[in-house]
Structure 1
């Protein structure tokens, strides 16, 4: 199997599982209401895992906003992660690369993945990782992690908060790490007129919001300061962070004071009714189409029947890739307008934030589309899948700004190399800019003048064949011993990523547009560059996508 194929499977699906498990030592306890919760101590870190933070969203609570958890009255052990929320089956197809190995990839992604990450609807749990010395009097800053996975797959259990806490202790700036599960795919982001009328859109975001309310209520018991919460995410998790920043027209509700976004800001999306066709397909495939209240019918279905229908909707690892059926959409109440329009209007939480991208965000997704081998193929894909309402002139201009010249494509700065097909690097450049670079720059354009912001570009792992500095590669730098982790820990403590032990990171302003750039050079691992690459192309993409949201 091709090296790039293995990276797609292991990088995107198995998403950097960084779990350090030194010998367990003791059994720390914390009191929640009238219950005693027992965790586990590993070295200098205590872990409390799988704590329910909302009522189980099953039965009549399926497809409803999360209900707050009742006061804890029975003591319990919090030693293992809870189940992941339902994972959408992976529709991985890499035409022209795998051939007969398709079955092997299917086994790895849909069988081994399911065993390694058991899922189910009873999944709304939260994890708290603390320094073992923490007590209710510690008042430590808190960082709340929201995982990525295209709003279709992922779990808090894939990310070891212990590595972050351990690093913060070593830096002398201890933090508490919190992560939660939230509903995914149609279970968390079902969208249609019926959903809008019932007021139950964007349930995954509401799960995250409920977890943040839980933090406000209980984090003091673990040694955390509820007034010093930073929300942090990557990919879909970063998009989620940004959507909380524009939710309720920018009202934080006192739930957080700062934000960190890796590879994700608001993308141009339409009203929840734009996903009506996908809702209708689920209704049809479950036998609910004859019911007067199809949403009520979906609530009563056997889980396996519903899950099977959801799995037939487009996957992020399928041909539609980043044109997702299930993601945060405008609902008229919580997300009142397109997220980018809210940013343009200044309806964004006025909090300090860090935001950044990897240099080659689009390569993982272009690998899925390597059957696009001609300009006609690329134009057809843009018209049929990405921007169906675009005019012929708009499509012509996009293709002119993103030429087939392989020396200008992504992985960027790799000259004639990594051209998997004649159009691969072109498609990778287009997808990366459209979904990541353009939204980030637009986000900064309309907020950096009013609040403290810092932005970065990760060019590390550039030598990865075909993928370069691929989407999610910066996670290696933000979990464990990476220098981005140091900046994030400084930021969580001080609302400024700078400290005495790291290269000075200047604020991003619309005048200077300075980026902290992480690179592979051992003598210069960090340099300051300007956010001025592909200006005309990115500006045009931003305008077209705002005019034609997905």
Structure 2
């Protein structure tokens, strides 16, 4: 979820005034044997390592700085001049992760062991809207290869493209004799990309991070043929917040893909059970940011936020709670219904059938909630846990309405997460209970709801990752199913990009069946001698049904 590496600044002086886009029909080797490619009148000099050629840090939008901060992204002007595309572009501003002192001594070592929660070490800048394109070496413009577009995760608070080894995907596709073009994008995060509030809604600038993703997909349509990609064979793929982004792109814009993608692959994330961007809780976040930025007494608070120095706006964003704060997965900055791009609550859009009609794969880790329950390990009694669930996630629901939910997630450690571990791994008295609840609320129940609503209308497959069960306190934790390593999920992504079907000879089963409401089959990845199997998606059915009903009535 976080970022590594040193970066290159790309000059706006390289941009011409024309607004027409053209891509070269040739990829060639330039001076010094370095790979280069022409887009418009610009020449991009990349890298070549073995079987993989990289073009990194290509701007797809004008820098969202100055008066373009907190505005819809603006497509990059046509390229002109020579660009260094051999290093990653600057990373977007990242949210600070600070554990509450009350739990730091207990859970700090566990959090520290999770590399994806490490502090960002690379320079950060608002001028970060770039794409990377990685291709098999020697690919020509007429190759018409399928295109995999990666959207990174990070709780909509952190994220980068550097920590994901794209060469694993491209080399894997060559090993399977099913080559792909790989694209990854930066998008705005935290307050820069997901600022809530009625002012934001009225200005039509909600969910800027999702809008960035959409513009990057338009860039792919305009330019990917130059790299040998086929714009009619694009899948979007993400993990965690990236998977949620994929699901939200499916329900955004009335379900109209605009021809930008033709399949979707989601790892640990689906359209979220969230409400309106201007709800009272989130208006308070906007008002707090405005106050701390010194903009309270201005007539146009949004414009004031655009004009404050970067350091000021970045500080007030970082001072807002994160996913490792006590609020955990009740995030300050995340996508919500904005009345436009996301017309209303995502799950209501699903119920109305406003979903992109494309094949998709969606899956989860068995213990999605363990990592995010570490910050609330100081909740030790059933009453404390119940009050937390009510106040943090469903403040408008009555105790009577929530009682069935409390009973569905009992304090019995053997019923909690990490699942299937008996009384073990109960870090504190309510830890496993809260891990089960949070994992189901944000990950498992939304996935099942999504599948139950639309799998009868389009091809869908689902999986469950139950490996790494021996990890103390975490089990099959969130993010442990990375496809950026050789294995079944990497191959499934490559198969899906090529055939819009994840099946293939290296998955260890003869057939991964489509998911239907009559036969809700999960491709299950296991520890032990039997590494893969098929199972029914029926676990915790009653509890998740209660969760879905409460979430529909009281979206977060």
- The TM-score, its normalising length taken from structure 1, stands at 0.92
Instruction: Show the 5 A alignment for 1:83-162.
Output: 83-93=90-100, 95-96=102-103, 98=105, 113-115=119-121, 117-162=122-167
Give the Å deviation of 1:501: 3.1
Check whether the contact 1:50–1:80 (CA below 8 A) recurs between aligned residues. yes
Q: Map 1:219-234 to 2 at 5 A.
A: 219-234=224-239
Q: Which residue, 135, 160, 172 being the options, matches 2:177?
A: 172
Q: Which moved more, 1:304-313 or 1:230-239?
A: 304-313
Separation in 2 of the partners of 1:184 and 1:26?
37
- Taking only aligned residues, the RMSD between alpha carbons, in angstroms, comes to 1.9
Label 1:224 to 1:426 Cα distance change in 2 as closer, same or farther (>3 A): same
Say whether residues 1:425 and 2:422 are aligned partners: no
1:319 aligns with 2:326: yes
Q: How does 1:51-66 map to 2 (within 5 A)?
A: 51-66=58-73
Provide, for residues 63-116 of structure 1, a one-character-per-residue CA deviation record: whole Å limited to 9, x for no partner. 0011011111111120111111110111223634616979x96xx999x8343x
Cα displacement (A) at 1:382: 1.1
8 Å CA contact 1:192, 1:279 repeated in 2: yes
**Cα shift readout 1:168-203 (whole Å, capped 9, x = no counterpart):** 001100001100000001100111111111111110
Confirm whether residue 391 of structure 1 aligns to residue 422 of structure 2.
no
**Partner Cα separation in structure 2 for residue 139 and residue 99 of structure 1:** 53
Following superposition, the deviation at residue 222 of structure 1 comes to 0.5
Matched, 1:368 2:375: yes
Does 2:550 correspond to 1:544? yes
Tell me the distance in 2 between the aligned counterparts of 1:35 and 1:97. Answer: 50
Instruction: Give the match for residue 204 of structure 2.
Output: 199
Q: Is the 8 A contact 2:217 2:260 kept in 1?
A: yes
Note if 1:338 corresponds to 2:345. yes
Q: Hey, what does 1:260 align to over in structure 2?
A: 265
Output one character per residue of 1:368-395: Cα deviation in whole Å (capped at 9) or x when no partner: 1110111011011012211111211222
Count of residue pairs brought into register by the alignment: 523
Q: Counterparts of 1:343 and 1:468 in 2: how far apart (Å)? A: 31
Determine the C-alpha separation between the residues in 2 that align with 1:355 and 1:383. 29
Any idea what SS the aligned residue of 1:288 has?
coil
Closer, same or farther in 2 for the Cα pair 1:101/1:447, shift >3 Å? closer
CA distance in 1, matches of 2:106, 2:497: 47
What is the alpha-carbon distance in structure 1 between the residues aligned to residue 358 and residue 314 of structure 2? Answer: 38
Query: Is contact 2:2-2:163 (8 Å) kept?
Result: no
Q: Which residue of 470, 482, 485 maps to 2:487?
A: 482
- TM-score normalised to the size of structure 2? 0.91
- Per the alignment, do residues 101 and 195 of structure 1 end up closer, same or farther by CA in structure 2, a change over 3 Å counting? closer
- Please identify, of 266-275 and 122-131, the stretch whose mean Cα deviation from structure 2 is larger: 266-275
Residue 75 of structure 1: SS of its match in structure 2?
strand
Cα distance in 1, alignment partners of residues 312 and 462 from structure 2 = 44
Give 1:22's aligned residue: none
Contact 1:94/1:368 (<8 A) preserved? no
1:528 is matched with 534
SS of equivalent to 1:158: coil
Paired residues of 1:49 and 1:79 also in contact (CA < 8 A): yes
Shift of 1:367: 1.3
In the TM superposition, residue 41 of structure 1 has moved relative to its aligned partner by 0.5
Over residues 218-274 of structure 1, what are the superposed CA-to-partner deviations in whole Å (9 max), with x where a residue is unaligned? 000011000000000111001100111011110000000000001111112111112
Aligned to 2:43: 36
Partner of 2:477: 470
Check whether the contact 1:26–1:41 (CA below 8 A) recurs between aligned residues.
no
**How much does 1:14 deviate?**
7.1
Q: Within 1, Cα distance between the matches of 2:160 and 2:62?
A: 18
1:300–1:222 CA distance, 2 compared to 1 (3 A): same
Give, in whole Å, the separation in 1 of the partners of 2:371 and 2:401: 25
| 3-state SS, counterpart of residue 435 of structure 2 | helix
2:385 is paired with a residue whose SS is helix
CA distance in 1, matches of 2:312, 2:103: 33
Correspondence for 2:498 among 493, 502, 506: 493
**Cα shift at 1:358:** 0.3
The corresponding residue for 2:290 is: 283
Say if 2:80 is the partner of 1:73: yes
Contact 2:62 2:73 in 1 (8 A): yes
- Over 3 Å counting, the alpha-carbon distance change for 1:449 and 1:100 in structure 2 is closer
Partner of 1:431, secondary structure, is: helix
- Contact kept in structure 1, 2:2 and 2:160, CA below 8 Å: no
In structure 1, distance between residues paired with 2:475 and 2:461: 24
The 1:535/1:75 distance shift into structure 2, 3 A limit, reads same
Q: Give the Cα separation in 1 of the matches to 2:388 and 2:403.
A: 13
Q: Post-superposition shift, 1:160?
A: 1.4
Q: Distance in 2 between matches of 1:27 and 1:194?
A: 48
* C-alpha contact (below 8 Å) 1:84/1:118 kept by paired residues: yes
Does 2:317 match 1:310?
A: yes
Unaligned runs of 5+ in 2: 5-31
8 Å CA contact 1:94, 1:370 repeated in 2: no
Q: Is the 8 A contact 2:273 2:442 kept in 1?
A: no
Q: Give the secondary structure class of the aligned counterpart of 1:157.
A: coil
